[in-house]
Amino acid sequence: MIRTASYPSLEARVCFITGGGSGIGASIVEHLCAQRARVAFVDIDRSASEALVKTIAERGHPAPTFVPCDLRDIPALQSAIAEVRTRLGSIRVLVNNAAHDERHTIERVTPEYWDDRFAVNLRHQFFAAQAVAPGMAAGGGGSIINFGSTSWLVGQGGMPAYLSAKAAVAGLTRALARDLGPMNIRVNSIVPGWIMTERQIKLWLTPEGEQELLRRQCLKRKLLPEDVARVVLFFASDDSAACTSQSYIVDGGWV
Ligand SMILES: NC(=O)c1ccc[n+]([C@@H]2O[C@H](COP(=O)([O-])OP(=O)(O)OC[C@H]3O[C@@H](n4cnc5c(N)ncnc54)[C@H](O)[C@@H]3O)[C@@H](O)[C@H]2O)c1
């Protein structure tokens, strides 16, 4: 049994997670609730999100606040953040987790599709940070965690708009870290390798893919959402108070 850390600095801290209804985001929501943080999340998937709130409440942990939102709609994201601020207080931790790795061929991409993929995979990360930064600054600081991906680093193909957006997360992280550092707002990115969410298992995990994973990862096991969520806890907490402008890879050592 894995015995995991407790982070006293996260207790009662207001944390906002995008795409928290399923996959890695749901595990982040669960882990932050288990730390007794005050957690709110947005997602486009109402039924998965409402089921998650119920499961967490049944466990006896403080239930998270769910606000439905399509993150491609920036005014809707801004009002979700304002609503959370009114209901829970100033946001001190932002986890920009939501994305969508829909496959697409070069020939199929139109200007509209390209913009839509950037809206799903990158644009909301900037506007969420913009919306929470003044409250974080007023509260003495905060932690912003952006989600990248190793897919563009390992030369994966089949979705050029997604890979381009994920590559840009590294630049966004460093740009925001520089500008927000004087307000004691830290900005890091977590860069997952292949993580076995329900969606990944259903859509992409094949016997051949599993063989490749076991060959290329130093660690000979499938990685799970909680492997990533536990790293998020560290970057969210005051235990990482001196870390900013970094991208931290969680991929089991994929080479
Ligand atoms: N799972 C992996 O192997 C893997 C690998 C590399 C990077 N990542 C990154 O980790 C993060 C989480 O990935 P995941 O695998 O859990 O993804 P997922 O697709 O399983 O879950 C994403 C969540 O975001 C929500 N979402 C999608 N579009 C939305 C929108 N327009 N508005 C609001 N919510 C929306 C979905 O409903 C879902 O709950 C992403 O940033 C992803 O790029 C994942």
Domain that holds residue 200: 10-249
Does residue 147 sit within a domain? yes
Could you tell me which residues are beta bridge partners of residue 144? 94, 187
Residues in the chain: 255
The mean pLDDT of the chain is 97
181, part of any domain: yes
**C-beta of 98 in contact with ligand 1 (< 6 A):** yes
> Domain tally for the chain?
1
List helix spans (H) across the chain.
23-34, 46-59, 74-88, 111-118, 124-138, 160-180, 198-203, 207-216, 225-236
Q: Is the pLDDT of residue 1 over 80?
A: no
Query: What's the rounded mean pLDDT across residues 8-35?
Result: 98
Mean pLDDT along residues 66-79: 98
Ligand 1: centre distance to CA 35 (Å): 22
Residue 148's closest CA among 232, 249, 219, 24?
Answer: 249
What's the order of all strands across the beta sheet hosting 247-250? 65-68, 38-43, 14-18, 93-96, 142-147, 185-192, 247-250
- CA distances 61 to 32, 38, 51, 179, 235, Å, are 10, 10, 14, 36, 21
pLDDT tens track for 176-223: 999 999 999 999 999 999 999 999 999 999 999 999 999 999 999 999
99 lines ligand 1 (CB under 6 A): yes
Res 251 pLDDT > 70 = yes
Q: Residue 192: in which H helix or E strand, if any?
A: strand 185-192
Q: Residue 174: is its pLDDT beyond 90?
A: yes
Report if residue 1 sits inside a domain: no
3 occurs within a structural domain: no
Could you give the percent of the chain with pLDDT greater than 70? 100
- How much is the pLDDT for 3? 85
Condensed to tens digits (0 to 9), the pLDDT of residues 85-122 reads 999 999 999 999 999 999 999 999 999 999 999 999 99
Distance between CA 72 and CA 133 in Å, rounded? 20
Position in ligand 1 atom list of the atom nearest CA 101: 43
Helix (H, G, I), strand (E, B) or coil at 89: coil
Distances in Å between the Cα of 103 and the Cα atoms of 27, 113, 199, 203 are 24, 12, 13, 11
pLDDT value at residue 246: 98
**Cβ of 19 below 6 Å from ligand 1:** yes
Domain harbouring 140, CATH code: 3.40.50.720
Q: Place 173 in a pLDDT band, splitting at 50, 70 and 90.
A: very high
In a domain, 150, yes or no: yes
- The residues annotated as belonging to the active site are 162
C-alpha span between 251 and 255 (Å, rounded): 9
Interval 135-139 mean pLDDT: 98
**pLDDT surpassing 70 at residue 72:** yes
95 in any annotated domain? yes
pTM of this prediction?
0.98
Place of tokens 């995991």: 4
In a domain, residue 255? The reply is no
CA distances from 203 to 102, 209, 214 (A): 10, 11, 18
Q: For residue 4, is it within any domain?
A: no
Arithmetic mean of pLDDT, 36-56 = 98
